[in-house]
Amino acid sequence: MAEYELIKTEGQANRGRFTTVHGVIETPVFMNVATCAAIKGGLSARDLESIKTQVMLCNTYHLHVRPGDEVVNKLGGLHKMPHWSHPILTDSGGFQVFSLADLRKIKEEGVYFNSHIDGRKLFIGPEQSMQIQSNLGSTIAMAFDECPNALSEREYVEKSVARTTRWLIRCKEEMKRLNGLEGTINKDQLLFGINQGAIFHDIRIEQAKEIADLDLDGYAIGGLAVGESAEEMYSVIEDTTPFLPQNKPTYLMGVGTPENIIEGVYRGIDFFDCVYPSRNGRHGNLYTNHGTLHIRNAKYETDTRPIEEGCGCPVCREGYSRGYIRHLLKADEALGLRFCVMHNLYFYNDLMRQIREALDRGCFAEFRKNKLKELRDADYDAT
């Protein structure tokens, strides 16, 4: 089973180590999003290792729809398929209840979807989500939840959160049963519960207390960064984390910008994931220590400099020029996407390394102050 060791703390911030059957996760960590068991942009598992990725994040709904979790299972599971032996976290499909809102109906038993691929009817409830994730064989399974819209009325959020908690209990029981079955790929599959409550602090706190008693392997805060302001998000995190178990890792789902992450760590978050580095990379928005560089901009047409001087990512280290990368993107060459995504994921992974190092040295407060200033005073053209 998993063990979460708290190595050091500074204020609310944690420097931890999470040991799983697929290896150790040094926290705080950023999980690289590979929804369909692949990083969009064409990065292999070897590429991920080369940019210091610790955890891959895949998606239950998407893999269930295509190629099907039974297919993944027959191919040996989610680790074997892409040749990734390190930890994998699978999201439960709960977010698709939010992002595919036009294609689903929520009932007490679960959610009825119309597939976004071909429209066929699908049913995913807590038990189905656990069965799919068990078939996939991920290291960490997420509970099946509903991520309510940030603008939802209090009355609806109360109803939704209560249902999410009932679903969590069903998830826990089903996961226990599946882990005991003969032929299960990963009999040590872990389960993280999810806190919801939109921007209603009291609802979040109340639910945090309830789920803390379930003794899960980790706890996530979901339903943030979906329309509310950054200040509201930070305030929700601040008020909620004290009521989640301190001896278990905390995961802020789907967040966020480099600044969001630093502020999350400051408030006690251990795990993060976000589509930003990969999606923005595909769109040519590149992260640097001096702000975001829009590589498609005309001013880079004949720029011979790398994306960022001194960056340790494979693309910058090999010295590919901004002008060349701009050309690749504008010419729709796959290599351009690959370069940009690799740079951005390296930037995020390295940011987490710097955060861990600062925590190890006991100077995270200072690091936070300097880094936020650096990111805000962005001027990459000065480099």
Partner RNA sequence: GUGGGUAUGGCGCAGUCGGUUAGCGCGCCAGAUUGUGGAUCUGGAGAUCCUCGGUUCGAGUCCGAGUACCCCCC
Cα(first)–Cα(last) distance of the chain, in Å? 47
| Smallest separation, CB 2 to RNA (Å) | 19
User: Looking at 132-140, 152-160, 170-178, 223-231, which segment touches RNA (CB under 7 A)?
Assistant: 223-231
Name 331's Cβ contacts closer than 8 Å, sequence gap at least 6.
Answer: none
Whole-angstrom Cα distance, residue 4 to residue 133? 22
Query: Shortest Cβ distance from residue 316 to RNA (Å)?
Result: 20
Helices (H), the chain: 45-50, 60-65, 69-74, 94-99, 126-136, 154-179, 201-212, 230-240, 258-266, 276-282, 314-317, 322-330, 334-361, 364-376
Question: Which residue in 40, 159, 163, 187 binds RNA (CB under 7 A)?
Answer: 40
Q: Which of 256, 258, 268, 306 binds RNA (CB under 7 A)?
A: 256
Measure CA 11 to chain center. 24
Pick the stretch among 5-13, 251-259, 306-314, 351-359 that binds RNA (CB under 7 A): 251-259
Q: Which of 45, 144, 41 is nearest to 88 (CA)?
A: 45
Instruction: Mention every residue, 6+ apart, whose C-beta is less than 8 A from residue 61.
Output: 91, 93, 96, 113, 124
Residues 132-171, interacting with RNA (CB under 7 A)? 142, 145, 147
- Closer residue to RNA in complex, CB, 5/333: 333
- Nearer CB in complex with RNA: 102/155: 102
377 a catalytic residue: no
41 binds RNA (CB under 7 A): yes
**How far is it, in rounded angstroms, from Cα 361 to Cα 86?**
27
User: Can residue 253 be called a binding residue for RNA (CB under 7 A)?
Assistant: yes
| Stretch of 7-15, 249-257, 357-365, 373-381 contacting RNA, by CB under 7 A | 249-257
The reply to whether 273 belongs to the active site is yes
Return the number of the residue (10 or 144) whose C-beta is nearest RNA: 144
> With contact defined as beta carbons under 8 Å apart, do 378 and 292 qualify?
yes
Is residue 98 a contact point for RNA (CB under 7 A)?
A: yes
Which of 140, 141, 171, 225 touches RNA (CB under 7 A)?
Answer: 225
Residue of the chain from 56, 157, 274, 286 that contacts RNA (CB under 7 A)? 274
Site string for RNA, 309-348 (x = CB under 7 A): ---------------------x---x--x-----------
Pick 13 or 147: Cβ nearer RNA: 147
Minimum distance, C-beta of residue 93 to RNA, in the bound complex (Å): 8
The answer to whether the bond into 82 is cis (omega within 30° of 0) is no
CA 98, 103, 109 angle in degrees (round to 5)? Answer: 75
Dihedrals phi, psi of 78, to nearest 5 degrees: -70, -20
- Under rule CB under 7 A, residue 305 binds RNA: no
Name, in order, each residue with C-beta under 8 angstroms of 267's C-beta and a sequence gap of 6 or more.
12, 13, 234, 237, 238, 241
The answer to whether 77 contacts RNA (rule: CB under 7 A) is no
Which tokens hold the place of 162?
A: 């209560």
Which whole-number Å values give the CA distances from 13 to 241, 246, 352, 368, in the listed order?
A: 11, 11, 13, 11
Nearest 5°: the CA angle 233, 217, 150 is 25
Contact between 52 and RNA by CB under 7 A: the answer reads no
Of the candidates 48, 43, 51, 66, the one whose C-alpha atom is nearest the C-alpha of residue 118 is 66
Which one among 87, 110, 223, 249 touches RNA, defined by CB under 7 A? 223
Q: Of 91, 145, 217, 350, which is the active-site residue?
A: 91
CB of 142 to RNA, least distance (A): 5
State the catalytic residues. 91, 273
Give residues in contact with RNA (CB under 7 A): 33-35, 39-42, 57, 59, 62, 91-92, 94-96, 98-99, 116-117, 142, 145, 147, 194, 196, 220, 222-223, 225-226, 230, 253-257, 260, 273-276, 278-280, 282-283, 285, 294, 296-299, 301, 330, 334, 337
